[in-house]
Amino acid sequence: MQKDLLRLESEARQRLSGVSSLAELEEIRRKYLGKKGSVTQLLKSLGSVAPEERPALGQAINDLKNRVAAEADAVMLRLEAEAERMRLEAERLDITLPGRGPMQGRRHPLTRIMDEIKSIFIGLGFQIAEGPEVETDRYNFEALNIPSDHPARDTQDSFYISDSVLLRTHTSPVQIHCMEDGEPPFRFIMPGRTYRRDAVTSRHSPIFHQVEGLVIDRDVTFTDLKGILTVFSRQMFGQDTRMRFRPDFFPFTEPSAEIAVSCFVCKGKGCRLCSGSGWLEILGAGMVHPKVIANVGHDPEKWQGFAFGMGVERIALLKYGIDDIRHFFEGDLRFLNQF
Ligand SMILES: [Zn+2]
């Protein structure tokens, strides 16, 4: 019997020494120390031993049981320590690595130009107004003196939602909202997004941005228009900027002018940016047509004014020397990060 005990203990120790997981350890515990385990079976078999041998043998089996249990506990501590070490190793931080800073956002180049335009006009006493991008025929055309046979109404040019509802083709309808909603005098700029059915090319996009301006007051003349736009152009393009006014036609202004500024790159000598002309066309403007003032319920005998509009993309292309309008809408960080 003593020999059996020695053999059992040596076998249990041998197996415990090779254990590599807690599951395996539990398996061995069950095999030797569990209710049906080998050591427990030995204790149960004491009944068949001669009474005088029982105490000594019982003591020996209990000692064996305690030693195997102690050994199993030691193995368990070793496995747990090993698991903890692996966990710490996995979570180890290399504090010598260079840090990863947060990505810094930037204002979009169109937003920058728009903000620049706004701040110049705010400095000249203008308020900022906004209007809906989905407009009715009346606001986009009718009230602006654009008759129903005007080419601007061509469905080729406009995104119609229904017969009389469309995406605004310019920011001019905001003029109508402003004039309807209050009493003159008015001094507004109206920045916003506009839509036309243009194919996407390096020069055209079906979505683009305009800034519209409107001044309505008593005794406003074309000289006031020239004065305001000259101040604006010099702040935007440089104090030595010269202005060129040429007659143009818009249904909602009379007289109307197309306005160019002297090229800020070549100062008028002629270069690639201005296609050799020395001038950059940036604005359309004119005295508000008396019909438009009457259309919104004000007296054109009493109130006069001027309006102007500019394309934000065009100004951004010129100012930043960009050759393709599509860059503004593609969201390519290699482009946007340059601003
Ligand atoms: Zn030039």
CA atoms of 320 and 264, how far apart (whole Å): 11
Residue 202 Cα, ligand 1 centroid: separation in angstroms? 20
Residue 122 Cα, ligand 1 centroid: separation in angstroms? 29
Residue 270 Cα, ligand 1 centroid: separation in angstroms? 4
Q: What is the pLDDT along the chain (339 residues), one digit of tens a residue?
A: 778 888 888 888 888 888 888 889 999 989 888 888 888 888 888 888 888 888 888 888 888 889 999 999 999 999 999 999 999 999 988 888 888 888 888 899 999 999 999 999 999 999 999 999 999 999 999 999 998 888 767 766 899 999 999 999 999 999 999 999 999 999 999 999 999 998 999 888 999 999 999 999 999 999 999 999 999 999 999 999 999 999 999 999 999 999 999 999 999 899 988 999 999 999 999 999 999 999 999 999 999 999 999 999 999 999 998 989 999 999 898 999 888
Residue 3 Cα, ligand 1 centroid: separation in angstroms? 108
Residue 230 Cα, ligand 1 centroid: separation in angstroms? 19
Classify strands 279-288 and 304-311 as parallel, antiparallel or unpaired: antiparallel
| Single pTM value for the model | 0.70
Residue 192 Cα, ligand 1 centroid: separation in angstroms? 28
Residue 170 Cα, ligand 1 centroid: separation in angstroms? 28
Residue 113 Cα, ligand 1 centroid: separation in angstroms? 20
Residue 310 contacts residue 211 (beta carbons within 8 Å)? yes
Residue 337 Cα, ligand 1 centroid: separation in angstroms? 26
Tokens of 104: 């810094």
CA atoms of 150 and 139, how far apart (whole Å): 15
CA atoms of 143 and 131, how far apart (whole Å): 15
Longest Cα pair distance anywhere in the chain, in angstroms?
135
